[in-house]
Structure 1
Amino acid sequence: MTIEPHEKKGTAPKLGVYVNNRAAVFLGEGFTLSDLIDLAVSAEDAGLDFVSVGDSLLAKPRYSPIVVLAGIAAVTKQIELTTGILQPHMRNPVMLAQEWATLDVLCGGRTSLGVGLGTGPLELVEAEYRLIGIPKRKRGVAFDEAITLLRQLWTEPEVTFSGEVFQIDSATVGFSSARRPHPPILVACGGYVPEQAGTGPNDFYSPETAGTFTGPFERVVRLGDGWITGIVTPDEYRRALGVVDALAQQRGRKLDDGFERRLNCFLHIGPDAAQARQVGQEFLESYHRLPFDSETLDRWLIAGTAEACAEQISAYVDAGVTSFQFVLADHQQQRQLERLANDLAPRVRDNVTVAAMA
């Protein structure tokens, strides 16, 4: 099967595919790093808006995200390159600012930077923080400081900073990114707390918040040029977006059309809904190395026929989502991309166009 390019219509959301640099590790010969690069080229040929890669040290081992995106930059011309997400606080901020700006120049200003705290099996997440020498209890502070430093290093000639975690004296990257004033930063925030501890992908749980979607949304409007979230129902998303908007207004900030609102979701398109859900669940549990309860699965996995998937996506568009990061929940990554590009994307765009005309 070939992938045919599609024209974008009206106010349709941005559609992107997660070219899975973890799957390229755990699927072995079934999906190699070379296959990943080919998948990114296919995504561009199909007219998708962006490709993204993820980040982890020990919790979910994978190929290095910036290096992978540099490889993709070499064989693509237009598609946006991003992360969904990268953990900036696990790197020296000056080195990260230099490496990401280099990537942005290399690809002609096509990058945006999706950032988040990351998650995974609790013992492995804790091991990651021991490895980098930052107490896990300070990861939120480290994250905030890292984003603040990235912005300064990309826009100021010289930076001095003294924080709880990072200290920098008279540092400079020495050059600017191609995208001005700097690549947009999309902050991941918000998570579903499952009813039962030890299920789902997140490493946080408390009886008080079990069964709810929650997060420190103030961080989004304070640090972000956009917002990434997932494992959320359309109604919950609408309410959370209202909170984000209200917090922005309190800070004297208006979140206009340039503020991207991205949903991360797993996707399996297939003719049989039950089988699509089962295959999707098996993939998620292999990917995260954790069991998934039904509630978390149904919040994060869009599965079924292209028509049914398009209806679910339309509900999120109605709730305010402006872009979708699709993680292909299938060992056959190329097959799933073909279904996304040929069967699902035209329906999503047509649905939005029809709604706009109504």
Structure 2
Amino acid sequence: MRAVVTDLSVPRYLLTAATRRPGLLLSLRDDLPEPTPPAAPGWVRVRPELAGICGSDVGVARAKSSLVLSAFYTARHQILGHEIVGVTDEGERVVVDPIVSCVHRGFPLCRSCADGFPYVCERFDEPGVTGCRAPSLGFDATLGGGWGESLIAHESQLHPIGDLPSHRAVLAEPASIALHAALHWKRRGDRAVVIGPGPIGLLVIAALRRLHPSLDITAIGPGAFSAPYASKAGADRTLPPGPGVVETLATLHGGRVIRPRLTKIPLLEQGVDVVLDCVGLASTIDLALHVLRPTGLLVLVGAAGKQPVDWSLVWNRQLTVQGTVNFGPEPALGGRHTMTQAVEWLSDPSHPVDDLVTHVYGLPEWRTALTTAAAGPRASAVKVTLRPNPGLPLIT
């Protein structure tokens, strides 16, 4: 089997962290055995049509992942790729929910799984019958991942898609992430800000617009590249990041600008109701806290990391900071699975995602694909994908 394999040995990881050269950790192999199904019922083989490149994949390749979270990702060898549209051995086209929780590992349900939150399972680091030492497919070579010609998934992880176009179907996993994030906000007010109109941010905007048609949505992102995408996704406007955001929002919505001493960013009194930060840098978190109204909500959708942030406004304005990860059964959807809803939206031609897949590469071009995904707008890229099985036709 051909696949791009990650070798997370400590010397390779430390050298990659020092040099940021992904070729030290990743390599294309042609001699791998296909993953073996676990000795349990319900496991099937899937051959990927397309697999997306996520920010977390770039983080792994460049050794920038959170060291704290490494406790949950203990496999030395990984086949990345958890945004997957593929075909089963029976010929059914599916998208894959990559989460591997207690029910898949053969364990009695932990408290999180029993409470309906399998996406934060408390046994993510225990392989069980699967042999998978990671929270999901795409982070352990045992079951495989989307950057290989074959992977193993449980039938409960598969969502049939019929003839849904491949460039829309490959967005099912990030669209589910985005919808899950958007559902954290139980609408209180009329104004939202989404920071970071990359793939996840654009899908968050589309989800907010679908859930709340009358909502005023401001996207915040650098440069001119993202603005047309944000507008098509449903944003009312796109603003460049920085202190000017506060002034502009005050002018638009009639808020007051308050200026602390010796700080660059002023405060927006009568601010926005919710901010979804899809970047997760100290600067974006800080900006979010400065534009939220008292009792507002900040949803951290961006990648995890260690950030020096002044949290004084969380206390002073009684803000709520909500983390979000993965997806699954949604209380806000009556227990319906996020991916079920996402597939339904993606099947609607009016859902504005047609232009998000900007690049498709074959496995031999994985280095170029990673570089393009990491560059984002600098490479005119939104969602970059790999095509592991060129013999499988892409559905248009």
Report if TM-score (shorter chain) is over 0.5. no
Kindly indicate which of the two structures has a greater share of residues assigned to strand: 2
Kindly indicate which of the two structures has a greater share of residues assigned to helix: 1
| TM-score, length basis structure 2 | 0.26
Higher Rg of the two aligned structures:
2
